[in-house]
């Protein structure tokens, strides 16, 4: 098999290499099999959301590609009063989705807005934070924490229905963020981890996947979905 010429086989091999559970592999296969049937809808949702944020200050739109899968996998929470936490907010486009999709919500955004070597030297994080503030101004029930995730969780007393983890992508930090998130996840809550397939050639300690796979096994987490680059998790 030539994994380099087949993205599907390359990702499948990547999952096996990093000891993904059988349930993760099956969820990945289910996504790949069904993906062609939803591509039109996925493209439409992406286009619609980009139109919605056209007047926002956006340097890099990392989020619109996820809108269809977020709507699909979070629809059970749509009519609830939800509390949402995200670790790693960048310019606030994912939080803005929560604001537009859910009627009643408390939004908690944690970021240092100092960046890391993952973002490259060309990203000005003073500008990124300015855009976050501008994009989410006048939103009620928005809580901004300019802090590391470790410091946030040390002081946190809230629990959350939905937690989005998109902070530092190093193994140790992802593992800490996941374990801390699980402590404050409500019953029937969901955790979304971004960049599950990030940096496929990276060393274990420099990528998220092994930390996520280990947390799944150690906490017996349910795999709600594996998508193009994210994984949705629940506690049993």
Q: Which two tokens stand for residue 120?
A: 């490259």
236 residues of the chain, pLDDT tens digit each: 455 668 899 999 999 999 999 999 999 999 999 999 999 999 999 999 999 999 999 998 999 999 999 999 999 999 899 999 999 999 999 999 999 999 889 999 999 999 776 666 678 889 999 999 999 999 999 999 999 999 999 999 999 999 999 999 999 999 999 999 999 999 999 999 999 999 888 899 999 999 999 999 999 999 999 999 999 999 88
Backbone angles phi, psi at 198, to 5 degrees: -80, 140
Helices (H), 18-77: 22-52, 67-74
Contact (CB, 8 A) for 142 and 90:
no
User: What SS3 class is residue 120?
Assistant: coil
Q: How far apart are CA 163 and CA 191, in angstroms?
A: 5
Beta-ladder partners of 232: 192, 225
Beta-ladder partners of 221: 235
Spell out the residues 6+ positions from residue 144 whose beta carbon is closer than 8 angstroms to its own. 109, 132, 133, 136
Closest by alpha carbon to 68, among 97, 41, 86, 47?
Answer: 41
Quick one: DSSP state of residue 219?
Answer: T
Spell out the residues 6+ positions from residue 215 whose beta carbon is closer than 8 angstroms to its own. 175, 178, 179, 182, 221
Whole-structure pTM value:
0.95
């Amino acid at each position: 098999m030539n994994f380099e010429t087949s993205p599907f086989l390359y990702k499948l091999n990547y999952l096996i290499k990093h000891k993904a559970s059988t349930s993760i592999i099956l969820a990945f296969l289910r996504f790949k099999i069904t993906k062609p049937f939803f591509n039109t809808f996925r493209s439409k949702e992406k286009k619609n959301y980009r139109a919605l944020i056209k007047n926002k200050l956006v340097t890099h739109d990392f989020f619109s590609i996820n809108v269809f899968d977020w709507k699909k996998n979070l629809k059970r929470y749509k009519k609830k009063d939800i509390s949402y936490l995200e670790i790693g907010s960048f310019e606030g486009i994912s939080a803005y989705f929560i604001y537009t999709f859910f009627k009643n919500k408390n939004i908690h955004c944690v970021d240092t807005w100092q960046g890391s070597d993952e973002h490259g030297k060309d990203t000005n994080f003073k500008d990124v934070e300015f855009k976050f503030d501008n994009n989410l101004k006048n939103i009620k029930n928005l809580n901004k924490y300019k802090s590391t995730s470790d410091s946030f969780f040390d002081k946190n007393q809230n629990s959350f229905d939905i937690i989005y983890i998109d902070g530092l992508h190093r193994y140790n930090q992802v593992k800490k963020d996941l374990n801390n998130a699980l402590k404050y996840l409500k019953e029937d809550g969901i955790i979304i981890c971004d960049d599950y397939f990030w940096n496929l050639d990276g060393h274990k300690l420099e990528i998220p996947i092994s930390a996520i796979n280990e947390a799944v096994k150690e906490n017996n987490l349910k795999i709600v979905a594996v998508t193009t680059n994210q994984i949705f998790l629940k506690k049993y």
